Amino acid sequence: MKKTLAVLSMLFTLAACEDSDKAASQVINASSEANSLVLQDGTAINLNGSIIKTSTKKDGKTEVITHTVKFDTGSKIAEHSIYGMLSKQGYTREVVENTGEKFKIHYYKKGHPTIGSVYQEKTTETGLSSVLAIYWKVI
């Protein structure tokens, strides 16, 4: 698992080296076994969901990495598990938007890029599920 994440990190680094004026986008489909994120500072966050897609987008000097994660729970439960781990690392949070279908949170830690997250909840025949898009600027 850690080797897979290391290889993905290297691929993102190499992709960032491309010199282009246009927005560059590289999408890597993560295996359904992937269940942890590595933050900018190297901190691993274990998830109660599965990473289904990881992408990087570069626009000029700004590069943003986005992970899409699927949870078999509602968005509030998924966010609670994420914030529980981030708060132990010194992050605070701010609810940016809270509608019936979308739940947007920013996580802050001094000296680190803001981590943004958008949770979208769906009701299925088997119950609630949610999809998280979590992103941060690469520095």
* pLDDT in the model for residue 93: 96
pLDDT of 34 reads: 65
* Terminal Cα distance for the chain, rounded: 24
Q: Please report the pLDDT score of residue 91 as a whole number.
A: 94
Q: Could you state, in chain order, the average pLDDT of each consecutive group of 10 residues for the chain (139 residues)?
A: 43 43 33 68 85 91 92 90 92 91 92 93 86 91
Nearest to 112 by CA among 76, 80, 86: 86
Extents of the domains making up the chain: 2-137
Per-residue confidence (pLDDT) for residue 12, from 0 to 100:
44
Residue with tokens 């901190």: 43
